[in-house]
Amino acid sequence: MFAHRLRYLFILLLSLYSFINILFTEGNRIFSNQPEHVVLFLTITFLVFTLWEGNRLLIKAIEGFQFRKLHILVPFFLLSVIYLIILSGLTTVSFSFIYPNYDLGLTFKLMIGFTFRVNLFLHCINAIVFFLSQYKKAQLESEQLKKMHAEAKFQALRNQINPHFLFNSFNVLATLVHKDPNTSSKFIEQLSDVYRYLLYNQENQLVTIKEEIEFLKSYIYLLKIRFGENLKVILDLNDTLDDKYIVPASLQMLIENAIKHNVVSKKDPLCIKIYNNDNYLVVENSKNLKKVKEPSSRLGLKNIKDRYKFLSEHHALIIKSNGSFKVKIPILDAA
């Protein structure tokens, strides 16, 4: 506070206030010989100015010191009291040259009383400003830490996709290599395209629906190699959605989730339909749960829900019924 760029204006206003207050309460009558108004005002201004500037230089001088178990404001105030005593003494001595008939003892007491009140007022304001500044700084640091935590958590959520997808793809490839080398070669090519998309969009929070659908077609091709006609994936999307946005790989994760939990066989084919409804993309699959459940980390749906919480006020919705399972993910307008 003492180094504020408008400090000279504050010094003048405080001096003027103190002068008016003394005249209003007739405090000048305490002097054995009442000083002229001009002399009184100049004396008050001098004391306020030297107190303010003295405190400014004092806090600058002790900033680098470490005080055990004491806040820096405490020694600062104590040192300022010593300073004001010296200042009051010097001012009293100066008065004795101008007004030889003044009672020096009384004048010194008056100087001490005035400078102490002004100094206490200044230090109270300084303490308020200091702690408000510390509070704002703490708030800013807290917000920065929250942002860093959110970004780190979001990155962790995105990183869940790649290992999970790669693990499943290698399982499929291991089966194909022995059965059909030519198909496995094409599978590797398609897998490369799919994984390139995942790597490219790893740092992106959102992608266009058009990009996601192109990626999804390659991914569905890989699935069809494995499941054949036992798996049916129907894309029924409006072309006007091409420039809208969704979370990358979210549709892929929902398809993968449906396959993981439901029977996919010639007798009981799994049908997955992807369509738009209002401001949502809907992934709906027929429900025929496996009797023997595969090991699951239960991170798929949670991943998508958590990622949308970071990015939008609209949340992913899960709708369960006897014959089907739906997940609705929000369509976003901007990346």
pLDDT of residue 120: 92
Greater model confidence, 151 or 107 = 107
pLDDT of residue 232: 93
Q: Are 287 and 321 spatial neighbours (Cβ–Cβ below 8 Å)?
A: yes
Mean pLDDT, residues 10-30: 79
Q: How sure is the predictor about 290, in pLDDT bands with cuts at 50, 70 and 90? A: confident
pLDDT in tens, 233-269: 999 988 788 888 988 888 888 888 898 889 999 888 9
pLDDT of residue 81: 92
Q: Are 254 and 212 spatial neighbours (Cβ–Cβ below 8 Å)?
A: no
Q: What are phi and psi of 278, to 5 degrees?
A: 55, -125
Q: Which two tokens stand for residue 140?
A: 């800013």
Lowest mean pLDDT among 109-118, 134-143, 158-167, 251-260: 158-167
Lowest mean pLDDT among 83-87, 209-213, 313-317: 313-317
Q: Whole-prediction pTM value?
A: 0.52
Instruction: List residues bridging with 324 in a β-sheet.
Output: 286
Lowest mean pLDDT among 36-40, 146-150, 201-205, 256-260: 146-150
Q: Which residue's structure tokens are 């058009």?
A: 210
Mean pLDDT, residues 142-153: 63
Greater model confidence, 240 or 165 = 240
Burial tier of 82 (Cβ tally within 10 Å: 0-12, 13-18, 19+): exposed
> Domain locations in the chain?
7-148, 160-330
| Mean pLDDT, the chain, integer | 82
**Can you tell me the distance from the alpha carbon of 24 to that of 18, in angstroms, rounded to the nearest whole number?**
10
pLDDT of residue 146: 67
pLDDT in tens, 47-78: 899 999 988 888 888 887 777 778 888 888 89
User: Is CATH 3.40.50.300 the right assignment for the domain spanning 160-330?
Assistant: no
pLDDT of residue 280: 92
pLDDT of residue 27: 61
Q: How sure is the predictor about 326, in pLDDT bands with cuts at 50, 70 and 90? A: very high
Mean pLDDT, residues 311-325: 86
DSSP string, 288-320: -B-SSPPP--S-HHHHHHHHHHHH-SSPPEEEE
pLDDT of residue 298: 57
pLDDT of residue 149: 56
Instruction: Return the number of other C-beta atoms located less than 10 Å from residue 270's C-beta.
Output: 22
With 90 as the cut, is the pLDDT of residue 327 above it?
A: yes
pLDDT of residue 309: 79
With 90 as the cut, is the pLDDT of residue 40 above it?
A: no
